[in-house]
């Protein structure tokens, strides 16, 4: 498909014939982004400052880079330090993105609230979704008056919501691609935007260098080595159980190859089945005749719970982050509270 070819071209080391055709549109997009940001900077476009500090976790590229696991890890770390975090998200791909804010419950339908917000709600945090992050935050604070810090899962470009801390996440494998802006490249904002954030976090994997690409960046890894059965969460199994023939792997995430590489590093030679990010799985997607086991991410498992069979397993992962990042964020928050 053209969309898949375009994404592949975005992460080529230089412009290809396909991406070069989009250069005029890319330049127009860059101009529009610059004008919009300038409008917020000089006050033509108003921002809304809440009575609690906001920490935005986002990226400047299209697609997944580990934002949601990082938000979960930050929320857990701040909770351990006495904060009461709440989370807002757009809930990308849900049925009514343009509707009113929705408070996410752990037993919600991912089609109603989005897959990533549901994961965060199941982790035990109050979550509200809405395209308008300001509206989501107001509902969250109204329903959770003890909340004293808000984490925004994505929304680096949602300038209407004033923020105290900005964290940008980069996938070490794909980096910034060809470094061109949409649609000639994967960037939503120019690379220089990273110089203005409070922290850059680089998601690394088994095949990546142990150190982040930027010397001033914090490293993050996703760890998990035990699988859980989708239709029976009380049943788990070690990776060694799947080091055999007949194992298939599904991934409808921003960078499916990272999940497949994670499995390979665990000694699992699974047949890969990549899907687009936020793919809505149906029973036919699991109708793999020769599959003795079907492995997937926890995010994808949410959408397969109603029709998964005993062959289906998911891999829970959590983000391991540098303690220095927590120290930085907490220092920024304390400065805000003391002001």
The predicted-structure confidence for 93-119, as pLDDT tens digits, reads as follows 898 888 899 999 999 999 999 999 999
pLDDT of residue 297: 97
Percent of the chain with pLDDT over 70: 95
Both tokens assigned to 54: 């906001």
H/E segment holding residue 334: helix 323-338
Integer Rg of the chain from CA: 20
What DSSP character marks residue 303?
Answer: T
CA distance 128 to 224: 27
pLDDT of residue 215: 60
Average pLDDT, the chain: 93
Give the CA angle between residues 90, 259, 65 to the nearest 5°. 40
What angle, 0 to 180 degrees and rounded to 10, lies between the N-to-C axes of helices 115-122 and 67-80? Answer: 20
pLDDT of residue 338: 37
pLDDT of residue 299: 95
pLDDT of residue 65: 82
Q: Each residue of 11-43: pLDDT tens digit? A: 998 899 999 999 999 999 999 999 999 999 999
CA distance 219 to 29: 31
Q: Each residue of 131-161: pLDDT tens digit? A: 999 999 999 999 999 999 999 999 999 999 9
Residue 303 has pLDDT above 60, yes or no: yes
Residue 339 has pLDDT above 50, yes or no: no
Both tokens assigned to 29: 């997009």
pLDDT of residue 143: 98
Q: 135 CB contacts (<8 Å, ≥6 apart)?
A: 100, 101
Q: 300 CB contacts (<8 Å, ≥6 apart)?
A: 115, 250, 251, 252, 253, 275, 279, 281, 314
Residue 337 has pLDDT above 50, yes or no: no
Residue 209 binned pLDDT confidence (cut-offs 50, 70, 90): very low
Q: Each residue of 257-276: pLDDT tens digit? A: 999 999 999 999 999 999 99
Q: 99 CB contacts (<8 Å, ≥6 apart)?
A: 130
pLDDT of residue 210: 42
- Residue 86 has a CB neighbour count (10 Å cut-off) of 23
Beta pairing, strands 165-171 & 199-204: parallel
Residue 226 has pLDDT above 90, yes or no: yes
Q: Residue 227 phi/psi, 5° resolution?
A: -95, 150
Residue 336 has pLDDT above 60, yes or no: no
């Amino acid at each position: 498909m053209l969309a898949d070819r375009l994404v592949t071209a975005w992460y080529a080391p230089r412009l290809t014939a396909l991406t070069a055709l989009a250069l005029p549109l890319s330049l127009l997009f860059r101009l529009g982004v610059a004008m919009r940001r300038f409008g917020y900077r000089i006050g033509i476009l108003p921002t809304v400052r809440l009575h609690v500090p906001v920490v935005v976790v986002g990226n400047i590229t299209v697609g997944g880079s580990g934002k949601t696991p990082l938000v979960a890890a930050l929320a857990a770390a701040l909770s351990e330090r006495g904060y009461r975090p709440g989370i807002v998200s757009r809930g990308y791909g849900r049925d009514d993105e343009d509707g009113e804010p929705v408070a996410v419950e752990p037993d919600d339908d991912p089609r109603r609230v989005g897959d990533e917000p549901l994961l965060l709600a199941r982790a035990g945090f109050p979550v509200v979704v809405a395209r308008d992050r300001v509206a989501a935050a107001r509902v969250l604070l109204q329903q959770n008056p003890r909340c004293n810090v808000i984490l925004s899962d994505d929304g680096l470009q949602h300038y209407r919501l004033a923020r105290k801390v900005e964290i940008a996440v980069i996938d070490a494998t794909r980096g910034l691609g060809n470094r061109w802006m949409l649609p000639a490249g994967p960037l939503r904002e120019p690379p220089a935007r990273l110089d203005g954030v409070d922290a850059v976090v680089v998601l690394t994997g088994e095949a990546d260098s142990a150190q982040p690409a930027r010397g001033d960046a914090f490293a993050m890894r996703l760890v998990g080595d035990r699988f859980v059965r989708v239709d029976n969460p009380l049943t788990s199994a070690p990776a060694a159980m799947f080091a055999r023939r007949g194992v298939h792997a599904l991934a409808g995430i921003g960078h499916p190859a990272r999940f497949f590489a994670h499995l390979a590093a665990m000694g699992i030679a699974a047949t890969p089945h990549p899907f687009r990010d936020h793919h809505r799985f149906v029973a036919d997607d699991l109708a793999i005749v020769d599959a003795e086991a079907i492995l997937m991410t926890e995010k994808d498992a949410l959408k397969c719970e109603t029709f998964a069979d005993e062959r289906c397993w998911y891999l829970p992962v959590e983000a391991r982050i540098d303690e220095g990042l927590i120290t930085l964020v907490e220092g920024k928050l304390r400065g805000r509270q003391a002001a």
